[in-house]
Amino acid sequence: MKKFIIVSLLLSGLTTMAQDSTSTYKKRVLETAEVDFLMSYYTQDGSNAAVSGGIGTEELTDITPTLVVSIPLNDDDVLTIDFGISAYTSASSSNVNPFDAGGPADPFVASSGASSGDVWGNLTGSYSHSSDDRNDIWSLKVSVSTEYDYFSVGVGGSYSKLFNEKNTELSISANVYIDSWSLIYPIEFRGSSGGDDEDDFNINNYTITGNPNYNPGFVPLDGKGRNSYSVGFGFSQILSERMQGSLALDLVKQEGQLSTPFQRVYFSDVADSFIENFHLGDDIERLPDTRFKVAIGGRLNYYINEIFVLRTYYRYYFDDWGINSHTASIEIPVKLSDKFTVYPTYRYYSQTAADYFAPYNQHLSTSQFYTSDYDLSNYAANQYGLGITYTDIFTKFRIWKLGLKSIDLKFDQYERDSGLMYSLISGGFYFVLD
Amino acid sequence: MKKLSLLILLALNLSSCVVVREYEKVKLNDPDMALSDKKIKRFELNAQAYREAAAGANGGKTGGGCGCN
Q: What is the pLDDT of residues B10-67, one digit of tens each?
A: 555 555 557 999 999 999 999 999 999 999 999 999 999 999 999 887 776 666 666 5
Structural domain of residue B44, as residue ranges? 31-56
Of A11-25, A55-69, A375-389, which gets the smallest average pLDDT?
A: A11-25
**Residue with more model confidence, A113 or A38:** A38
Question: Across residues A71-84, what is the average pLDDT?
Answer: 96
Q: How many whole angstroms separate alpha carbon A132 and alpha carbon A159? A: 15
* Nearest Cβ partner for A295 among B10, B31, B55: B55
Asked whether residue B42 is domain-assigned, the answer is yes
Does B32 sit within 8 Å of A317, measured CB to CB?
no
Q: Bigger pLDDT: A143 or B56? A: A143
Give residue-wise pLDDT tens across range A225-273.
999 999 999 999 999 999 999 999 999 999 999 999 999 999 999 999 9
Give me the half-sphere count of Cα atoms (radius 13 Å) on the Cβ side of residue A15.
12
User: Is pLDDT of B7 > 70?
Assistant: no
Query: What pLDDT does residue A18 have?
Result: 45
Residue B9 lies in a domain: no
pLDDT-wise least confident of A97-101, A104-108, A127-131, A261-265: A97-101
pLDDT above 90: residue A70: yes
- Per-residue confidence band for A117, with pLDDT thresholds at 50, 70 and 90: confident
**How many C-beta neighbours within 10 Å does residue A260 have?**
22
Does A47 score more than 80 pLDDT? yes
For the stretch A262-288, pLDDT in tens is 999 999 999 999 999 999 999 999 999
With beta carbons less than 8 A apart as the criterion, state whether A208 and A275 touch: yes
pLDDT tens column, A144-153: 999 888 899 9
Give the confidence band of B2 by pLDDT, cuts at 50, 70, 90.
low
Residues 6+ apart with CB under 8 A from A125: A79, A80, A81, A82, A141, A142, A143
Nearest CA of chain A to the CA of B31: how many Å? 10
Beta bridge partners of A60: A44, A90
Residues 6+ apart with CB under 8 A from A374: A46, A48, A50, A54, A418, A420
Chain A, 252 to 271: residues with Cβ < 8 Å from chain B are 252, 254, 260, 262-263
CATH code for residues A97-114+131-433:
2.40.160
User: Cα–Cα distance between A39 and A250 in angstroms, integer?
Assistant: 28
Give the per-residue pLDDT at B16.
53
Residue B67 placed within a domain: no
Is some CB atom of chain B closer than 8 A to the CB atom of A317? Answer: yes
Q: Which of residues 102-131 of A touch B (CB under 8 A)?
A: 120
Mean pLDDT value across residues A168-177: 96
Distance from C-alpha of A234 to C-alpha of A169, rounded to nearest angstrom? 8
Q: Is residue B40 part of a domain?
A: yes
Give the CA diameter of chain B: 49
Structure confidence at residue A311 (pLDDT) = 98
Q: Is the dihedral of CA A90, A94, A95, A98 positive or negative?
A: negative
Residue B6 lies in a domain: no
Secondary structure of residue A235 in the 3-state scheme: strand
Give the model's pLDDT for residue A111.
77
**How confident is the model at residue A220, as a pLDDT?**
92
Dihedral sign for Cα A89, A90, A95, A97, please. negative
A177 three-state secondary structure: strand
Higher pLDDT, A94 or A334: A334
pTM of the model as a whole: 0.88
Element (DSSP H or E) covering residue B43:
helix B41-51
Query: A426 pLDDT band (50/70/90 cuts)?
Result: very high
CB distance B52–A313 less than 8 Å? no
- In angstroms, rounded to a whole number, what is the distance separating the alpha carbons of residues A57 and A364? 24
Q: Into how many domains does chain B fold? A: 1
Query: Considering the domain boundaries, does residue B49 fall inside one?
Result: yes
CB contact under 8 A, A295 and B63: no
- Cross-chain residue pair B44–A426, CB shorter than 8 Å: yes
B46 domain-assigned: yes
